[in-house]
């Protein structure tokens, strides 16, 4: 057997251990660390090839993580070597089974490998990996060679362990960053000088500040309070000695200005912010974590609730007062009412009772929409022209100032729909047309046929929809804010419910003011809804 002495490891030890030390201190990428270790080990013993395997504790096995001098397609053939357990002290060729398996593998892949070294990488008494070095010639170990190789393996283990820990830290940081970034609540991180160091997407959505613009700016510049609902803000609390023992968290609530409001639907947002301090071991403030919640919807609901109470109390009081008044009048013992007066009084009582029923029905429909239990009662062959005629006859007699016309083409089809609720939509649209055209004039209910849908429009000659009101016209309890609306009855639920009914039919409801380039003097507005011709296939 051709035998040659191993290159004197003692001479090369310092150079190669220095390379590993550099990897340990200057390189924390695991792949680069493994590459440097393997290349150094191969050169150290003048090997032809090598590979590093790292332990997989959960699977109680080893996985190949770096190779040198072995073609990619041949790596899988070295798997049998990994199945021979490592025993302390078996770094050299004293394991006949390993030598036999290596020679079989070498012949199979055409590399002619005959001998190998297996150097353990030990950290904390645990083998975290093995370095395999393959040689095509035979060699013998010089004095102290194994001790030096073990030292090499220990240095390699330190570098690998540090790289693994760094990799875990980076992975955990990415996980935490992802959690913060995808949190439904806004999250902001401040340094002790109150400059922003972290700003997640939810907070960007709330305030209009892109994270890239907010980070590095002072807290008070990004979150500029317009109004405060609490006694103090963060800056004032810090001036007063916050955080105090036993009162670590600070809650601040109020309205802040939105950034870049030209792109926003609103210029302010209501926020509730909980500030939590992070302290060092000696009690110094290192960071402040702010958890931010958008209270705008809550404030809107709060205002909506007040509006609801105000509107409903008014709308209930009017018919109840009328009913009570007429009933009390009819019940007077000292009066002898004629049949005509009694009939007229009972008619008024019946009409006001119907108004109460309609009001209650609308409130129930709104609550069903809120609860998600709104459903349709589908009927076959609903004729919208006939429904429009009925609504025109019913409401036409309520106003002497208005004329209600119906115009549908002869080919207008019947549809599958909820007849009662579409009647409700037409009632709401025509009632609004009457209500918001106090000077009277024509109201036209018209229809049009399109290839895949039909439309119904209600046009009036009234006051139209002011630009500043158009964004909320379909909201619950929303009414035009003018003297006319304050004199007319209504809950502000009609258009809200009409839109919901049309959309439940897979349709759409919208409006336009009649004034245009072709009709600049046209008054009033037109509300239009579309429905699919075949709702059953939607």
Whole-number pLDDT of residue 13: 57
Q: Are residues 338 and 395 in the same domain?
A: no
At CA 88, angle to CA 84 and CA 91, rounded to 5? 70
Rounded to whole angstroms, the maximal C-alpha distance in the chain is 139
CB 289 within 8 A of CB 275: yes
Containing H/E element for 500? helix 494-504
Return the CATH number at 172: 3.30.450.40
Q: Are residues 434 and 340 in the same domain?
A: no
Q: Are residues 146 and 58 in the same domain?
A: yes
CB 474 within 8 A of CB 503: no
Residue owning tokens 């005959």:
114
Q: Of 125, 159, 177, which residue constitutes the final position of a domain?
A: 177
**Main-chain phi, psi angles of 294, to 5 degrees:** -85, 115
**Main-chain phi, psi angles of 85, to 5 degrees:** -65, 145
Whole-number pLDDT of residue 194: 94
- Return all residues near 351 (Cβ < 8 A) that are at least 6 apart: none
For the chain, report the end-to-end CA distance as a whole number of angstroms.
84
Going by their DSSP bridges, the two strands 285-294 and 268-279 should be labelled as antiparallel
Q: Taking the CA atoms of 149, 151, 156 and 161 in sequence, report the sign of the dihedral they define.
A: positive
Residue owning tokens 């290192």:
286
CB 158 within 8 A of CB 258: no
Q: Are residues 10 and 50 in the same domain?
A: yes
Q: Are residues 417 and 325 in the same domain?
A: no
Whole-number pLDDT of residue 453: 93
Q: Are residues 517 and 475 in the same domain?
A: yes
Whole-number pLDDT of residue 6: 47
Q: Taking the CA atoms of 447, 449, 450 and 451 in sequence, report the sign of the dihedral they define.
A: positive
Nearest residue to 220 via CA among 196, 200, 243: 196
Q: Are residues 81 and 121 in the same domain?
A: yes
Q: Of 371, 401, 432, which residue constitutes the final position of a domain?
A: 371
Q: Are residues 354 and 410 in the same domain?
A: no
Side-chain half-sphere CA neighbours of 233 within 13 A = 14
Q: Are residues 395 and 533 in the same domain?
A: yes
**Structure-token pair, residue 302:** 């709060």
Calpha distance 299→67 (Å, rounded): 63
Return the CATH number at 438: 3.30.565.10
Q: Are residues 322 and 264 in the same domain?
A: no
CA dihedral 387, 388, 392, 393 (to 10 degrees): -30
Whole-number pLDDT of residue 12: 56
Residue owning tokens 């059953």:
536
Calpha distance 528→445 (Å, rounded): 10
Number of domains in the chain: 4
pLDDT per residue, tens digit, the chain (538 aa), is 334 444 454 555 566 566 666 665 666 788 888 888 888 888 877 888 899 999 887 777 888 999 998 888 888 888 888 877 776 655 554 456 677 778 778 777 778 787 888 888 888 888 889 998 888 877 665 555 667 777 778 888 888 888 888 888 888 877 877 777 777 788 999 999 999 999 998 899 889 899 899 999 999 999 989 999 888 889 988 888 888 766 678 999 999 988 875 444 467 888 999 999 988 878 788 899 999 988 877 766 666 566 566 666 666 777 788 888 888 888 888 878 888 888 888 888 887 887 788 777 777 776 676 666 677 888 878 999 999 999 999 888 777 889 999 999 999 999 999 998 899 899 889 988 998 888 888 999 999 999 889 999 999 988 888 877 777 788 766 655 444 444 445 566 788 888 888 998 999 999 999 887 667 677 889 999 999 987 555 5
Return the CATH number at 233: 3.30.450.20
Residue owning tokens 């709401």:
428
Give the number of other CB atoms < 10 A from CB of residue 436: 21
Whole-number pLDDT of residue 352: 80
Q: Of 268, 294, 320, which residue constitutes the final position of a domain?
A: 294
- Return all residues near 120 (Cβ < 8 A) that are at least 6 apart: 86, 88, 91, 127, 129, 130, 131, 150, 153
CB 80 within 8 A of CB 105: yes
Q: Are residues 78 and 10 in the same domain?
A: yes
Q: Is the pTM of this model over 0.85?
A: no
Q: Are residues 506 and 440 in the same domain?
A: yes
- Show the 3-state SS of 393-460: HHHHCCCCCEEEEEECCCCCCCEEECHHHHHHHHHHHHHHHHHCCCCCEEEEEEEEECCCEEEEEEEC
CA dihedral 70, 72, 73, 78 (to 10 degrees): 50
Domain coverage including residue 170:
3-177
Nearest residue to 421 via CA among 389, 375, 460, 370: 375
């Amino acid at each position: 057997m051709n035998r040659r002495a191993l290159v004197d490891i003692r001479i090369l030890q310092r150079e190669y251990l220095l390379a590993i030390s550099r990897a340990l201190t200057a390189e924390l990428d695991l792949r680069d660390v493994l590459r440097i270790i393997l290349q150094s080990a191969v050169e150290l013993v003048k090997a032809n090839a090598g590979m590093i395997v790292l332990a997989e504790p959960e699977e109680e096995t080893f996985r190949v993580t770096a190779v040198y001098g072995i073609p990619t397609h041949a790596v899988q053939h070295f798997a049998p070597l990994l199945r021979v357990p490592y025993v302390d002290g078996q770094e050299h060729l004293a394991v006949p089974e390993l030598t036999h398996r290596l020679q079989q593998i070498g012949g199979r892949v055409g590399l002619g490998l005959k001998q190998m070294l297996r150097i353990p990488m030990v950290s904390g008494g645990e083998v975290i990996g093995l370095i395999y070095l393959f040689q095509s010639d035979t060699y013998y170990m010089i004095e102290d060679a194994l001790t030096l190789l073990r030292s090499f393996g220990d240095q390699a283990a330190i570098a690998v362990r540090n790289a693994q820990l760094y990799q875990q830290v980076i992975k955990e940081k990415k996980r935490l960053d992802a959690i913060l970034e995808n949190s439904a609540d806004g999250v902001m991180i401040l340094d002790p000088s109150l400059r922003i160091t972290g700003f997640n997407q939810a907070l960007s959505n709330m305030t209009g500040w892109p994270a890239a613009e907010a980070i590095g700016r002072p807290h008070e510049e990004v979150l500029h309070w317009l109004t405060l609902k609490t006694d103090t803000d963060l800056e004032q609390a810090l001036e007063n000695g916050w955080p105090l023992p036993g009162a670590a968290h600070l809650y601040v609530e109020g309205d802040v200005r939105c950034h870049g409001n030209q792109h926003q639907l609103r210029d302010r947002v209501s926020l509730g912010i909980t500030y939590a301090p992070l302290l060092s071991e000696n009690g110094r403030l290192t960071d402040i974590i702010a958890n931010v919640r958008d209270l705008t919807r809550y404030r809107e609901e709060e205002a909506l609730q007040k509006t609801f109470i105000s509107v409903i109390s008014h709308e209930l009081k009017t018919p109840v007062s009328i009913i009570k008044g007429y009933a009390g009048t009819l019940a007077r013992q000292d009066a002898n009412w004629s049949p005509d007066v009694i009939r007229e009084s009972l008619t008024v009582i019946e009409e006001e009772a119907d108004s109460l029923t309609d009001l209650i029905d609308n409130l129930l429909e709104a609550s069903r929409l809120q609860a998600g239990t709104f459903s349709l009662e589908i009927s076959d062959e609903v004729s919208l022209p006939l429904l429009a005629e009925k609504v025109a006859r019913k409401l036409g007699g309520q106003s002497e100032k208005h004329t209600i016309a119906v115009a549908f083409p002869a080919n207008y089809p019947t549809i599958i729909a909820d007849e009662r609720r579409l009647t409700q939509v037409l009632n709401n649209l025509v009632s609004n047309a009457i209500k918001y055209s106090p000077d009277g004039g024509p109201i036209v209910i018209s229809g049009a046929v399109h290839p895949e849908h039909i439309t119904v429009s209600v046009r009036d000659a009234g006051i139209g929809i002011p630009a500043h009101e158009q964004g909320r016209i379909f909201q619950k309890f929303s009414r035009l804010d003018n003297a006319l609306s304050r004199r007319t009855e209504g809950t502000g639920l009609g258009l809200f419910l009409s839109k919901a009914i049309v959309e439940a039919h897979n349709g759409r409801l919208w409006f336009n003011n009649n004034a245009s380039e072709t009709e600049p003097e046209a008054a009033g507005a037109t509300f239009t809804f579309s429905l699919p011709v075949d709702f059953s296939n939607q």
